[in-house]
A and B are shown apart, each in its own frame.
Chain A
Amino acid sequence: MELVFLLICGGLAVIASLLVIFARSTLHSALWMVLSFFMVAIIYVLLHAEFLAMLQVIVYAGAIMMFIIYAIMMLNLRQERDARVTVRISKVVGIAALIVLFLELMLVGLGHSLTAMQGPITETLVATHGRVAVIANFLFADYLLPFEVASILLTAGVVGAVVLSKRVK
């Protein structure tokens, strides 16, 4: 059952991501991107990371895609649609390097069974405390410093966006 869901959602995520690249209008790309993010959220649910799935829907499919669609609607991109496609040597080399990278990753990632040291988060711990409580305990104890750094980064990003987009008189 999990395998069926995984194959359907993974296939839809791959198709939606391909359509992001091949869609002619930028707005259509953005809408396919929303579908792709929803499918990734379902894959997080299949991996028992429900908290991340909620964040994925709220932060990515909600906030970030709203940003992007706002930007698309503010800019008039229609005249670029009929611009002709130039084939450059750098792009050909880049795609060839990507194919090599893909084969390497497939060989290394899927050839062996990857195992590592098992961590402390067992299923019984999660069952007794609840998953979000376990995440919160670790986030505000072991990961407190990165958490604060992330909040500073977000503040700096917002201030930077305001400063950049303000018109200089």
Chain B
Amino acid sequence: MIENQSIYLALSIVLFIIGAAGAICRRNAIVVFMCIEIMLAGVSIAFVTFSRTNQSLDGIFMVLFIMAVAAAEAAVGLAIFVLMYRKHGSIDLDKFNLLKW
């Protein structure tokens, strides 16, 4: 048990909620992408906090793999944004309803 555990957890919850709210409200695809990164940062803080609390390294490895997945996601996601822009001239997410029924 570390002394400020609840403050770290509160920070991680607040960051996650801010990221989710931004992902819902914003329409620019790149901003939505950055909001998802904020959500990942919040989750990572919770992982590291519990890793330190429980004297274990598992949380730290989870954050390492989150970083690897985020890097792969950035590479593929931004390539998709460039493709979307080339095809439609904008990356406004409200204009994309290809998969809507």
Contact = CB atoms under 8 A, between A and B. Distances in A.
Interface of A: 2-3, 6-7, 10, 13-14, 17-18, 20-21, 26, 29-30, 33, 36-37, 40, 43-44, 47-49, 51-52, 55-56, 59-60, 63-64, 67-68, 70-72, 74-75, 77, 79-80, 83, 86, 91, 94-95, 98, 101-102, 105-106, 109-110, 113-122, 134-135, 138-139, 143, 146, 150, 153-154, 156-158, 160-162, 164-165
A43 B45 contact: yes
Contacts, number: 218
A162 B87 CA distance: 17
Given A21-B25, A157-B76, A80 B92 contact: yes
A119 to B, nearest CB: 3
A169 to B, nearest CB: 14
A116 B64 contact: no
A165 B61 contact: no
Contacts of B70: 59-60, 64
B15 A17 contact: yes
Contacts of B31: 20-21, 26, 29
B72 to A, nearest CB: 3
A164 B79 contact: yes
Interface residues of B, number: 72
Dominant secondary structure of chain B at its interface with chain A: helix
Leading 4 A-B pairs by shortest Cβ distance = A119-B56, A157-B72, A21-B22, A164-B79
A29 B18 CA distance: 14
B37 to A, nearest CB: 7
A95 to B, nearest CB: 6
B97 interface: no
Contacts of B53: 114-116
Contacts of B25: 21, 91, 95
A35 B34 CA distance: 13
Nearest to A69: B30
B60 to A, nearest CB: 6
A80 B88 CA distance: 13
Given A67-B75, A80-B28, A157-B75, A75 B56 contact: no
Interface string B1-39: 101111111110111111111101111101101110110
Contacts of B4: 2-3, 6
B48 A47 contact: yes
